[in-house]
Structure 1
Amino acid sequence: MGIVLKQSFNNTLILFLGFAIGGINVLFLFTNFLHEDYFGLITFLLSAANIILPLLVFGMQHTMIKYFSSYKSKIEQDGFLISMLILPLVVIIPLALIGTLLYENIATWLSSENLLIKKYTYLIFIVAIFMGYFEVFHSWTKVQFNSVFGNFIKEIFARVCTSILLVAIYFEWITNEQFIYAMVIVYGVRMLLMKLYAFYIYMPKLIFKMPTNLKEILSFSLYIIVAGSASGILLEIDKFMIPQIEKIAEVAYYSVGVYIASVVAIPTRAMQQITSPITAKEMNDNNIVEVEKLYKQTSINLLVVGGLLFLLINLNITDLYELINKPQYSKGIWIVLIISIAKLLELALGTGNAILINSKYYKIFFYLSLAMALTVILLNRWLISLIGINGAAFATLTVVFMYSFIKIIYIKWKLKIQPFSANTIKVLLLVIAIFLAFNFWNFNFNPIINIILKCLLIGVPYLLIIKKLHISKDINSLVTKYF
């Protein structure tokens, strides 16, 4: 776990810093400087881009991680990497032509409930290409076991640029409309920086030779395209569908709640940067013992850290919304609780998704992802119409619970490994006990003072109990070293 713990810790610090900057953007700058319709618009455009991203890059970011370690010679590796950059063009160019011919129909459909969207529809395709190739170049560095810089560019660069642009709106240097176009440029520059760093880490020779196992790669990529799109639908469809049913400003209110809840997922996002290529390598070597060890360690470590974040967020949520000082956004309080529970369930899965994708049973990931996408679309359509934006959060929680359970059972059935132990139950009981104990305990001071006091009263006992119970050797060593 040495390289995993080291890079995961560095990635976690970067993610926390990125979320801190993003938190300032989402909770204060966006809500006060940008009109809520344009806040909803940029959220919609980015969500739509994320949904089509896997299709445009042909799933190459996952294919690269799965197959790179299976090539042993430099010539094979170089040819493989070059092909990973060329193959997406087979999809991008035809789709660009089709999109140009059918643009008016697509734009009219997307803007049926909110006309503001129509003018900016084409930006979805451009941003998706920028995002997609960024992920490909990021995977390029991951297979070299170097994930920290890419994570820095991904999590911090775009958010700092966003902060600057929002301040520019405040001083009337740019308009709300110009902000939308400027954000597209930011994503383009981000992709270019990632490309330059990827070539700096590993510069291949220009070998225009397709891999010998091209048929296998294409088969895997086709499954991953659909699975990746389905996963993107699970993450982004709520923000995509809300404007089709509600006013576009509702996306802004929903996004703030989701953003706050997403802090719970920081540990898994950090750890996945390095555990995915390691899991792929161990699966290629058929080393199930190491795969199981990583599976169990990541599950309990993520649950411990995620449990603490879950408590700190949800037990301070009222004060946090008071700091935002925008009453219309406070309808997202329940969204924070519902989505953060879903994120906690995902943490408990550990490296489960990486195991499925990189095993010979990867096709099941395709079927599960497709089923998840269809389920969440149907639930969103029903629940958003029924109870508004809270319905979108309930749809996400329901689908995450159902399919996380199925994945755990399937991995246990096929590989005879599972991530849980008695310590899992201990952590869950501790989280529930502290949540119930502090849920109705409020201070009558300034919101910032209230948050600091609660964080101390919750965080210190939580970490001490975790250390005392010897839940995780990795967490214990970090607590001892830094606290």
Structure 2
Amino acid sequence: MGLILRQSFANTIYSYIGALIGFVNVIWLFPYVLEAEQFGLTRVMISIGIVGAQVASLGMGNVTIRFFPLFRNPGRRHFGFLFFAVTVPLAGYLLLSLLGWIFQSPLIQFYADDSALFGDYYLLLFPLLFFILYFHILESYIRSLFDTVAATFFQDILLRLFQTAVVLIYYFGWIPFGMFMWMFVGTFGLQALLMLLYIGFKKQLFFIPDFTILTLPRIKSMADYAAYAFLGSVTAMTLGNIDMLMVGGMTNLAETAVYAVSLYLATMIKIPSKALIKISQPLIAEAQYKKDLNTISEIYTKSSINQMLVGGVIFIIIGVNLDHVYQFLPAEYHAGAYVFLFIGLAKMIDMTAGLNAAIIRTSSWYRFDLYATLLLVVLTIATNLIFIPIFGITGAAMATALSVLVHNVVYVIYVQVRLGIHPFSKKNLTGIAVLITALLVAWGIPEFPVWGIDLIFRAAVGVAIVTVGIFVLDLSEDLQNFIRQSAASLIRRKRD
């Protein structure tokens, strides 16, 4: 776990710096600078771009993670694997762009009644899709080289800083909204370009293919995996964005903006999990290749308790201070409090279930991921169709929470049946009790007249209770070591 912990720590630091920048953007700048409909437009377009990029990739992102260990050979320039990684998705992009052009009218019509602004900027989806697609491919490649920190820096910090600059330029009236949208899309292009330059700086930019390594059995194996990984990743990404897309189509872009703000707050809970997955998945793939079940089991078990505790602390910090957070927002955004509650619970469920999806996707029975996720997409769409007309944006959050719960129950059972391992222990139950106690105590503190003091004190009490629980009840050796090392580092800095 040494490499995992080191890179997870670096990724988490970058992710939270990015989250702070994102907080300023999503909670302050965008809602105040843009009209709610304009802000909602940017969220819907990003969701469409993310799902579209998964479709256009034709599974090459997952193929890179799964099969790069077979190509790894610095002396042979990894047999020019990057050439295959970037050329295959180009075909997918061209095909998807053609379909997007042909079906332009019905797609625009879906949003036309309450989200007319979408039609005005529909064509911007094509460059946005291209930029997101190739950043995704390059990120998968650099992750396979066990370098996840740079991608996190580009994704979570630089991209958001670029978007901060663009929205400020619009705020000062230097550009009209149309130019703002072009520049907003351009930030994704700049992100992809910087990733390409970074790979070149690392001397890993090998585009000359070596076809000698592509034996017919290997090609068939990769193609078979790509087909299932393609459908699996597309359905998984659809599952993660269908709520935003359906809120935009079934309500309006203004409601989408409200939903997006609360969704962003809940997404902060899972930042440590994203960092862990980035470095753990290639290591799980290596362990699968070597049939090292002990390593897989260790990563699986530790991922559950560590993610649950860290995610729980973040849930507590945000949850007990939700009223203070919404003070930063215009009044119409306050309706999203219950969205945060349900999406936050969904994130906690997903983190507590451990890295079950990563284990399945890197195994020989990866096909299950496709079948299970397809059924879950159907469930999510059905529950959204039922809940959104009744409960509005809160209904979309409820549908997401239900889908995530079903998804993880199915995956945990499947890994248990296949490998005989599960991520849970008695420490999970103890940890849940500690988190609930911390939440109730922090929530029940009488309100201070100064909101800043109240916010900090509630958060500090919640964190302190969980920290004491980690040590006294021996909930996580990894987190104990991390806390000790962080404290020692702070002490050394003060002495210096």
Normalising by the residue count of structure 1, what TM-score does the alignment of the two structures yield? 0.96
Summarize deviations over 1:251-294 as a string: whole Å, max 9, x none: 01011111111111011011111101101111111111111011
Alpha-carbon shift at residue 102 of structure 1 (Å):
3.5
Bigger Cα displacement from structure 2, 208-217 vs 17-26: 208-217
- The aligned amino acid for 2:173 is E
Matched residue, 1:162: 163
SS at match of 1:118: helix
Checking the alignment, whether the CA contact within 8 Å between 1:316 and 1:451 is kept in structure 2 is yes
Which ranges of structure 1 fall in alignment gaps of 5 or more residues? Answer: none
Checking the alignment, whether the CA contact within 8 Å between 1:66 and 1:277 is kept in structure 2 is yes
Q: 1 CA distance for matches of 2:384 and 2:271? A: 25
Alpha-carbon shift at residue 453 of structure 1 (Å):
1.1
Q: 1 CA distance for matches of 2:485 and 2:14? A: 19
Q: 1 CA distance for matches of 2:378 and 2:230? A: 15
- The aligned amino acid for 2:310 is V
Q: 2 CA distance for matches of 1:105 and 1:262? A: 31
SS at match of 2:363: coil
- The aligned amino acid for 1:211 is L
Checking the alignment, whether the CA contact within 8 Å between 1:79 and 1:211 is kept in structure 2 is no
Q: 2 CA distance for matches of 1:358 and 1:376? A: 25
Given candidates 448, 457, 466, the residue that maps to 1:462 is 466
Checking the alignment, whether the CA contact within 8 Å between 1:268 and 1:350 is kept in structure 2 is no
Normalising by the residue count of structure 2, what TM-score does the alignment of the two structures yield? 0.94
Checking the alignment, whether the CA contact within 8 Å between 2:31 and 2:329 is kept in structure 1 is no
Matched residue, 2:214: 211
Summarize deviations over 1:55-76 as a string: whole Å, max 9, x none: 1111211110111112355548
Alpha-carbon shift at residue 112 of structure 1 (Å):
4.3
- The correspondence of residues 227-306 of structure 1 with structure 2, limited to 5 A, is 227-306=232-311
Matched residue, 1:354: 358
Given candidates 380, 383, 390, the residue that maps to 1:379 is 383
Q: 1 CA distance for matches of 2:150 and 2:449? A: 40
SS at match of 1:113: coil
Summarize deviations over 1:347-367 as a string: whole Å, max 9, x none: 112221110000011000011
Q: 2 CA distance for matches of 1:98 and 1:317? A: 42
- Percent identity of paired positions between Structure 1 and Structure 2: 26
Alpha-carbon shift at residue 161 of structure 1 (Å):
1.1
Summarize deviations over 1:424-470 as a string: whole Å, max 9, x none: 11111111222233334341423222111111111122212211111
- The aligned amino acid for 2:26 is V
Matched residue, 1:49: 49
- The aligned amino acid for 2:209 is I
Checking the alignment, whether the CA contact within 8 Å between 2:304 and 2:352 is kept in structure 1 is yes
Matched residue, 1:394: 398
Checking the alignment, whether the CA contact within 8 Å between 2:303 and 2:354 is kept in structure 1 is yes
Given candidates 363, 371, 374, the residue that maps to 2:367 is 363
Alpha-carbon shift at residue 28 of structure 1 (Å):
0.7
Alpha-carbon shift at residue 325 of structure 1 (Å):
4.1
Q: 2 CA distance for matches of 1:414 and 1:245? A: 40
Matched residue, 1:149: 150
Bigger Cα displacement from structure 2, 78-87 vs 57-66: 78-87
Matched residue, 2:492: none
What's the Cα RMSD here? 1.6
SS at match of 2:181: helix
Checking the alignment, whether the CA contact within 8 Å between 1:134 and 1:190 is kept in structure 2 is yes
Aligned length: 482
384 and 205 in structure 1: CA distance in 2 versus 1, 3 angstrom threshold: closer
- The correspondence of residues 76-225 of structure 1 with structure 2, limited to 5 A, is 77-201=78-202, 202-204=204-206, 206-207=208-209, 209=211, 211-212=214-215, 213-225=218-230
- The correspondence of residues 425-464 of structure 1 with structure 2, limited to 5 A, is 425-464=429-468
Q: 2 CA distance for matches of 1:442 and 1:231? A: 43
Alpha-carbon shift at residue 299 of structure 1 (Å):
1.4
